[in-house]
Amino acid sequence: MIEVHDLTKRYGDKTAVDGITFTVKPGIVTGFLGPNGAGKSTTMRMILGLDRPTAGTATVNGRPYADHPDPLHQAGALLDAKAVHTGRSARHHLLALAATTGIPTSRVDEVIDIVGLRQVARKRVGGFSLGMGQRLGIAAALLGDPEVVILDEPTNGLDPEGVLWIRNLMRDLAADGRTVFVSSHLMSEMALTAEHLVVIGRGRLIADTSVTGFVEQGAQERVRVRSPRATELRDLITGPEVTVYSVERGLFEVTGLAAAEIGDRAARAGIPLHELTVVRPSLEEAFMELTRDSVEYHSSTLTGAAR
């Protein structure tokens, strides 16, 4: 369990994390989502005691991480997969970590097997692909058989096979009853992996919800209506709760009125319908909608797409 309460981090006059409160529960994968620069890494570093909060608290299994007598059994993390001594073999890298933290050699071989690096365990890390480096970073995170696993953008730069592997691993770790907290700036990735989402933007908490709750909160269902008598039909369906957007000539989208009601009104007026489709917002759209005001640097295409 991770508990974050009113956590704040300021760097000079820049507020990277701004009074956020949330809990990450065991047994499920919780996605930590936000645009670049939202404050995800800073939050994770504070949870792990690597950065000191300006205000507020972060605890792992009931205590600040650094106060645990057996921290590596409490939480393991992958923060920056490239921070490995490249001259060593993978096994030596893990043995060195194990030796300084009182973890037996047998556990090193176990984690090498868990992450599927046995074939290359004696090769120098300098020659590793990004995916192999990522597996090694995860092996290091799992060394202490931790109850809490924290992964910062673990799928960044991986090929589809690597992404799938990490996704399955996270699910397996959660199914074991562990707390799995994983950051990403990609909603689509989190939708496939996480059951719960903590969403931040510009250091502030935007949502703390199930994946399905997130979509409902983030964007409304729309109905796409195509008719050769679109203008007449529009007049029949406008109302205080109803919003109509023109898409192109003869095609518009409606929020606030069910498809069946639109169809019935068209039928009563004898207006032909060439299309009547319910459009459910994708997770990516819901995410863009929710974080629209909190993206640090808008690209013109992103701004365009979000509007």
Ligand X SMILES: Nc1ncnc2c1ncn2[C@@H]1O[C@H](COP(=O)(O)OP(=O)(O)OP(=O)(O)O)[C@@H](O)[C@H]1O
- Binding stretches for ligand X (CB under 6 A): 11, 14, 16, 34, 36-42, 185
Least Å from the CB of residue 12 to ligand X: 7
Q: For residue 170, with 0-12 CB atoms within 10 Å meaning exposed, 13-18 middle and 19 or more buried, which class applies? A: buried
Least Å from the CB of residue 158 to ligand X: 16
Least Å from the CB of residue 305 to ligand X: 19
By beta-carbon proximity to ligand X, the closer residue of 18 and 93 is 18
Rg, Å, the chain Cα set: 24
By beta-carbon proximity to ligand X, the closer residue of 262 and 283 is 283
CB 200 within 8 A of CB 290: no
- Closest C-alpha to 237, from 251, 256, 221, 214: 256
Strands 251-255 and 75-78: unpaired
- Buried b or exposed e, range 18-43, using 16+ CB within 10 angstroms: bebebebebebbbbbbbbebbbbbbb
CB 82 within 8 A of CB 88: no
Least Å from the CB of residue 204 to ligand X: 12
By beta-carbon proximity to ligand X, the closer residue of 7 and 262 is 7
By beta-carbon proximity to ligand X, the closer residue of 11 and 245 is 11
Least Å from the CB of residue 201 to ligand X: 9
- Closest C-alpha to 139, from 104, 182, 179, 97: 97
By beta-carbon proximity to ligand X, the closer residue of 14 and 268 is 14
